[in-house]
Copies of this chain bind each other. A is one copy, B any other.
Amino acid sequence: MTETLATSAEPTPTTAASPRRSRALELPEPLSYRIKRRLLGPALTTDQLEHERLGIPTAVAVFSSDCISSSAYATEEILRVLVGAIGVFAFSLVVPITVAMLVVLFFLILSYRETIKEYPTAGGAYMVTRDNFGLLPAQVAGVALLTDYILTVAVSTAAGTAALVSLVPSLGSYSVVICLFFIFLIAAGNLKGVKESGLIFSIPTYFFIAMGGILLLVGAFKWVHGDLHPLYPGLAHGIWPAGASPHGQGTVNAFAYGAGLYAILHAFASGGAAVTGVEAISNGVTAFKKPEWKNARKALIIMGGTLGILFFGLSALATKIHPVPFAEGTPTVISQIGQGVFGGKGVPYGALQIATLFILVLAANTSFADFPRLASFHAGDNFMPKQLTTRGHRLVFSNGIIALALCAAVLVVATGAKVDRLIPLYAIGVFTSFTLSQAGMTKHHWTRKEPGWRRGMFINGFGAFLSLVVDIIIAVTKFTHGAWVIIILVPIMVAGLVRLNRQYEAEADELEHEAKAAAMAPVLRRHVVIVPVAKLDNSSARAIQYARTLVPDELRAVHAAIDSREADRLAQEWTRLGLARVPLDIVDCPDRRVARCIAEVVAEELGDSETEVSVLVPQRHYRHAWHRLLHDSTAARIADSVEDLPHANVTLVPYHLSGRGGRREKKPTAPSAPASPTSA
């Protein structure tokens, strides 16, 4: 189209406006959306995106379930390694190892107090690492944390299931199914957008803290009064309960060869699972009541203290009660301690199990809040698929939630919902991200040199060092037990993310290069409109009517002739109806590939690279899906083969069939006075 022509037909937008519009056409919702709305509730609008501010007690409930619930399996995993290596001597080592881990916990808490103060808006490992070391190390921290969130879901639901099975042993054979059910339930709740409502979180968390507290108090009381006895008296004589005998028949001899030290480090590594979740509060400082960072710090100390007391208490009770880690995973060590303290399976014991189950499910739920948010950070920085940044129907990052549920489900099925098979994979990620984020904090202090930076740098530096040491211990001692999977997976994933990032950057670069100039580029010299016509029916009539609306430089109907008699008939009809103003081109199509044939016609027009071609494909819309199946998809195929050409614009001109035959319901237009085409 020449610019002169364009000018002469310049649209007059203002005059053609409002008065003509009567009312908008009805636009029914598709079935898929109606189902979604039924299942998930009405769509939430973006302005409903806000958080309630939490007081300290509620905040502890909301953020600490992951951390505190670790006490439900940490002692057991330490014991499992120790018993395997050195038998009954395990019970004399469990407390020292617990204390060592609590020292690590203490420094982590100190470190995170710094982080909370310095990064009160977004203090997650990803953000801190990105801020101090840049995007690439942030990917490592993020990926490490993401794998750990997946594992948190798997470990927590598996441990919760184990608590349930300890209470009701007959459920034992359904562990995997129960676990998957919990994952599904939590994912569904999150897709629905569970509000961070204080009550829902407070009940299980404080119920567990209360039951744990009662357990420790009663245990301590009985201990002092000498009423606390080993569960299995035979243990002293080397008689283990069935399903719990140590592989190694370990003896003190082990120490003679240095293997004992290795066993201790290995047990310590297993205990590392206890301190996962410590980072949760630093991710959510903005949710606290003002002054946010001060309240968050208090909550952090409460959380750390609670975990420390429970973890230490349970390990201490274990030295007296001698619970054994069973190969099957149930009854759990904490359930055995409960029986030992409360004297059998009474109401207090049952309450303890239920409380354990609840807090573990809640812990899994925490990952469903953290994983999608962290993934959306990655995606926002163009390191993960963009779809992870989209807030769904209920304002949550639905794609992240679904991805997490699927990954966790696969893990649960692969490990048969056994906590001890998952533990070797666990905690490596979290300590990697601790290391990076604390190192980042160290650099932060060094760079800023704000008041008290020396103290802060020391704390975070030591925290980073400690995290690194623990990480190495876990990686080495757990390597052959499964840690290698994570050690291989994380670099591969980071490499994948970097590759993805390169792709996104290249695309953005290409899409934005001189985009502004392009937006103002003049139109091409010529505009050709081509209407592929199979036969003269209402759907092609619609396309021709629309074609004439476009005022092109050239307008042609093209018939790809498979059957020459049919083509002749069409040409005759065309002439007879006086449609000659829209000339009909009959193109021979000997190989019967109509779409290809049209594409060739278009390619020829585009040859001068100064032409804009519009291909108007008459597209019939059938009332039912099976009606559509009865026809070949020529329209779609034409669109497919044409749109690979630059400046070939495919327009789908709809014609809606009522599916009831006879009189059309939606007429293309009232064919009142059949005007000759193109001109009035």
Contact of B603 with A27 in the complex, beta carbons under 8 Å: yes
- Does A373 belong to the interface (CB within 8 Å)? no
Contacts of A520 in B (CB 8 A): 577-579, 671, 674-677
**Whole-angstrom CA separation of A23 from B609 in the bound complex:** 9
**Whole-angstrom CA separation of A553 from B13 in the bound complex:** 6
Contacts of A202 in B (CB 8 A): none
Convert A484-526 into 0s and 1s, putting 1 for each residue whose CB lies closer than 8 angstroms to a CB of B: 0000000000000000100111110111111111111111111
**Whole-angstrom CA separation of A519 from B12 in the bound complex:** 28
Contacts of A632 in B (CB 8 A): 386-387, 390
Contacts of A285 in B (CB 8 A): none
- In the complex, what's the smallest C-beta–C-beta distance from A649 to chain B, in angstroms? 5
Contact of A507 with B662 in the complex, beta carbons under 8 Å: no
Contacts of A21 in B (CB 8 A): 604-605, 607-608, 611
Contact of A538 with B522 in the complex, beta carbons under 8 Å: no
- In the complex, what's the smallest C-beta–C-beta distance from A111 to chain B, in angstroms? 34
**Whole-angstrom CA separation of A504 from B661 in the bound complex:** 9
> Please, could you name 13 A-B residue pairs with CB atoms under 8 Å apart, sorted by A?
A6-B551, A13-B553, A16-B528, A43-B593, A44-B591, A46-B592, A392-B592, A513-B662, A516-B573, A521-B671, A644-B654, A644-B656, A647-B668
| CB-CB contacts below 8 Å: A387-433 with B | 387, 390-393
Contact of A27 with B608 in the complex, beta carbons under 8 Å: no
Given A527-B549, A548-B6, A629-B385: A591 and B45 interface contact (C-beta under 8 Å): yes
Convert A26-43 into 0s and 1s, putting 1 for each residue whose CB lies closer than 8 angstroms to a CB of B: 110010000000000001
One of A101-109, A237-245, A539-547 at the interface: A539-547
- Does A227 belong to the interface (CB within 8 Å)? no
Partner of A644, one of B538, B541, B548, B621: B621
Query: Which residue of chain B has the shortest Cβ distance to A44 in the bound complex?
Result: B591
Given A16-B554, A545-B521: A25 and B645 interface contact (C-beta under 8 Å): yes
Contacts of A657 in B (CB 8 A): 507, 510-511
- Does A256 belong to the interface (CB within 8 Å)? no
- In the complex, what's the smallest C-beta–C-beta distance from A16 to chain B, in angstroms? 5
Contact of B20 with A525 in the complex, beta carbons under 8 Å: yes
**Whole-angstrom CA separation of A651 from B528 in the bound complex:** 14
Contacts of A231 in B (CB 8 A): none
**Whole-angstrom CA separation of A664 from B507 in the bound complex:** 10
- Does A450 belong to the interface (CB within 8 Å)? no
| CB-CB contacts below 8 Å: A1-59 with B | 1, 3-13, 16-17, 20-27, 30, 43-47
Given A13-B583, A549-B523, A608-B21: A649 and B653 interface contact (C-beta under 8 Å): yes
Given A513-B538, A607-B21, A654-B643: A45 and B590 interface contact (C-beta under 8 Å): yes
Contact of A523 with B510 in the complex, beta carbons under 8 Å: no
**Whole-angstrom CA separation of A599 from B527 in the bound complex:** 27
Contacts of A545 in B (CB 8 A): 518-519, 521-524
Query: Which residue of chain B has the shortest Cβ distance to A573 in the bound complex?
Result: B516
- Does A169 belong to the interface (CB within 8 Å)? no
**Whole-angstrom CA separation of A436 from B524 in the bound complex:** 65
**Whole-angstrom CA separation of A525 from B545 in the bound complex:** 12
- In the complex, what's the smallest C-beta–C-beta distance from A2 to chain B, in angstroms? 8
Contacts of A524 in B (CB 8 A): 545, 549, 669
Query: Which residue of chain B has the shortest Cβ distance to A522 in the bound complex?
Result: B675
- Which of A555, A620, A650 has most chain B Cβ within 10 Å? A650
Partner of A539, one of B9, B511, B622, B649: B511
Contacts of A648 in B (CB 8 A): 654
Contact of B650 with A651 in the complex, beta carbons under 8 Å: yes
Contact of A20 with B526 in the complex, beta carbons under 8 Å: yes
**Whole-angstrom CA separation of A16 from B562 in the bound complex:** 29
**Whole-angstrom CA separation of A10 from B549 in the bound complex:** 10
**Whole-angstrom CA separation of A632 from B387 in the bound complex:** 6
User: How many interface residues does chain A have, given as a range?
Assistant: 35 or more
- In the complex, what's the smallest C-beta–C-beta distance from A202 to chain B, in angstroms? 31
**Whole-angstrom CA separation of A619 from B393 in the bound complex:** 24
- Does A365 belong to the interface (CB within 8 Å)? no
Contacts of A548 in B (CB 8 A): 6, 523
Contact of A25 with B603 in the complex, beta carbons under 8 Å: yes
- Does A659 belong to the interface (CB within 8 Å)? yes
Given A24-B600, A46-B562, A654-B649: A500 and B608 interface contact (C-beta under 8 Å): no
Contact of A630 with B386 in the complex, beta carbons under 8 Å: yes
**Whole-angstrom CA separation of A578 from B537 in the bound complex:** 44
Contact of B607 with A25 in the complex, beta carbons under 8 Å: yes
Given A607-B25, A654-B646, A679-B6: A515 and B503 interface contact (C-beta under 8 Å): no
Contacts of A643 in B (CB 8 A): 619, 621, 652, 654
- Which of A13, A504, A518, A632 has most chain B Cβ within 10 Å? A518
**Whole-angstrom CA separation of A440 from B591 in the bound complex:** 38
Contact of A659 with B562 in the complex, beta carbons under 8 Å: no
- Does A680 belong to the interface (CB within 8 Å)? yes
Contacts of A347 in B (CB 8 A): none
Contacts of A555 in B (CB 8 A): 11, 13
Given A503-B659, A518-B545, A649-B654, 15 additional A-B pairs, CB 8 A: A6-B680, A11-B552, A13-B553, A22-B609, A27-B645, A386-B632, A507-B622, A510-B538, A516-B573, A519-B536, A520-B579, A522-B669, A621-B643, A644-B654, A646-B654
Contacts of A676 in B (CB 8 A): 520
- Does A345 belong to the interface (CB within 8 Å)? no
Contacts of A390 in B (CB 8 A): 592, 632
- Does A660 belong to the interface (CB within 8 Å)? yes
Query: Which residue of chain B has the shortest Cβ distance to A19 in the bound complex?
Result: B608
Contact of B7 with A518 in the complex, beta carbons under 8 Å: no
Given A5-B9, A553-B11: A507 and B661 interface contact (C-beta under 8 Å): yes
Partner of A537, one of B6, B511, B579, B622: B511
Given A9-B5, A541-B515, A673-B522: A639 and B652 interface contact (C-beta under 8 Å): yes
- In the complex, what's the smallest C-beta–C-beta distance from A459 to chain B, in angstroms? 37
- In the complex, what's the smallest C-beta–C-beta distance from A13 to chain B, in angstroms? 4
